[in-house]
Amino acid sequence: MIIRRDIWPKCFKDAIVTGFVLVIIPLIYYFELFVVMPRYYKQWSLVYNFHFLMGTFILYNLCGNLVAIIMCDTSIKGRVLSSELLPNWRFCTVCETVAPPRSWHCNTCNVCILKRDHHCMFTSCCIGHENHRFFLVFVFYMFAATVYASYYNISFVWDYLSFGSWTSVFKLILPLATLFLEWTQSQLYIFFVIIVVLGGAFTGGLLWFHTDLMLKGLVTHERGKKSKYDNGQNLNIQVVLGEKWYLVWLSPWIESKLPCDGINWDNFVSGKIK
């Protein structure tokens, strides 16, 4: 894996969204384990410790995969590429070099990305061949975390909700705006709970969308088409998650070799491998 040196956001929007993710993850972790859970279980009891370990395990995978996404350089920089315009290759006028199949230029990152899926503003970088695994696992744990937390949050926040006036409804629908107007503990709790629920809906949709593409051997740029690189679900999973796809869910630092280098896709043919 090549380490990406320039990890700073390239635009203001990326900086704001990535900054929000970096702040909200530890805040929600603290909120769930040290505010919500003690309402259900005695702190440091056996059951509480179980949830504490589960929450910490999820946080470890969230942070680890997020760091791996950002630090992994999945661009064509530093790669040994052909000097000839081979079949299915193209010439990038911005990078002034030939680019392999399934690579596209990102205007934000200002470089061609190997097996580019999309530019992710939550990480301020592109999701491509070598960090696709970390992105998918990160989304999985974001969804798992929000569903897990929402199960307890619903009844927890009910004590802070009141529907006796339009003001109460406004606090629920626009928790952030209300938080700036009325900085109270209960409104802060409502804001956290709404963020978790919205995060669960968003990451659930992302997980379904990207898992479906992975199983079909596609990336976002190729959706709606039949992939020339579809070699069955088993190999399609390995192309994204690597040979040890069944272990990558445990830790981002487990090495899982990819069956393709992201450059020489001519070895992958629809339905079989040459």
Distance between CA atoms of residues 63 and 7, nearest Å: 16
Shared domain for 22 and 98, answered yes or no, is no
68/108 same-domain check:
no
Q: pLDDT, tens digit, for every residue of 33-55? A: 999 999 999 999 999 999 999 99
Residues 87, 190 within the same domain: no
Question: What are the Cα distances from residue 4, in Å, to 75, 76, 97, 188, 238?
Answer: 9, 11, 20, 37, 23
Asked if pLDDT for residue 63 goes beyond 60, the answer is yes
Between strands 118-120 and 90-92, the pairing is unpaired
Q: Is the confidence at residue 256, as pLDDT, over 60? A: yes
Pairing type for strands 268-269 and 118-120 reads unpaired
Q: What is the pLDDT of residues 79-137, one digit of tens each?
A: 989 888 888 899 999 999 999 999 999 999 999 999 999 999 999 999 999 999 999 99
Q: Indicate whether 86 and 174 sit together in one domain.
A: no
What is the mean predicted confidence (pLDDT) over 221-232?
A: 87
The pTM (predicted TM-score) of the whole model is 0.92
Number of domains in the chain: 2
Residue 202's pLDDT is 96
Same domain membership, residue 101 and residue 197: no
pLDDT score recorded for residue 31: 96
CB 4 within 8 A of CB 126: no
Q: Looking at the annotation, which residues are catalytic?
A: 120
Residue 205 has pLDDT above 90, yes or no: yes
The half-sphere exposure of 4 on its side-chain side, counting CA atoms within 13 A, is 25
Contacts of 167 (CB under 8 A, 6+ apart): none
Residue 164 structure tokens: 């006796």
DSSP state of 5: S
- Domain residues for the domain of 68 are 12-73+130-257
Q: Which residues pair with 120 in a beta bridge?
A: 125
Alpha helices in 72-128 (DSSP H): none
Quick one: 85 and 69 in the same domain? no
Would you say residue 164 has pLDDT above 60? no
> Which residues, at least 6 apart from 67, have a Cβ–Cβ distance to it below 8 Å?
252
Q: Within a domain: residue 180?
A: yes
Q: Give the closest residue to 113 by CA, choosing from 239, 221, 213, 17.
A: 221
* pLDDT exceeds 60 at position 242: yes
Per-residue pLDDT tens over the stretch 133-153: 999 999 999 999 999 999 999
What's 76's DSSP letter? S
Paired strand residues for 97: 92
Do 28 and 160 lie in one domain? The reply is yes
Task: Say yes or no: 86 and 49 in one domain.
Answer: no
